[in-house]
Amino acid sequence: MVSLGEKAVLAEYDINAADNLRARKALTQVHVISKTLYFVITLFTLASVLMLFQQVQQFGTSILASAAWSASFSASPRRRPSPICSPGSSSR
């Protein structure tokens, strides 16, 4: 599914064009997102398999909890820190 989505998005861009800056930017972004999705799918699969066995069920639960915790913080909006000296301001 991830590779199908990747191919569908990249089909809109021509990487062989003379001015291919947008295509290369899209290619990079799609690759990063697909690698991230593969990692998340692998993580949840591993945690789900671990939860099937009573001896390591607590470990699988911990993996799922930490993944949910980190996902909630990575999805939260961030404010950019204000620069100490903004351009155009004088120090007088």
- Residue ranges per structural domain of the chain: 2-74
For residue range 9-28, list pLDDT tens digits in order.
Answer: 888 888 888 888 888 898 89
Q: What pLDDT score was predicted for residue 56?
A: 82
Q: What pLDDT score was predicted for residue 84?
A: 62
Which tokens in the block code for residue 86? 């903004």
Picking from 69, 70, 47, the residue whose alpha carbon sits closest to that of residue 59 is 47
Q: Could you write out the DSSP letters of every residue in 44-89?
A: HHHHHHHTTSGGGHHHHHHHHHHHHHHHHHHHS--PPPPPSS-TT-
Q: How far apart, in whole angstroms, are the C-alpha atoms of residue 77 and residue 63?
A: 24
Residue ranges of the chain with per-residue pLDDT less than 50: none
64 in Cβ contact with 52 (< 8 Å): no
pTM over 0.85: no
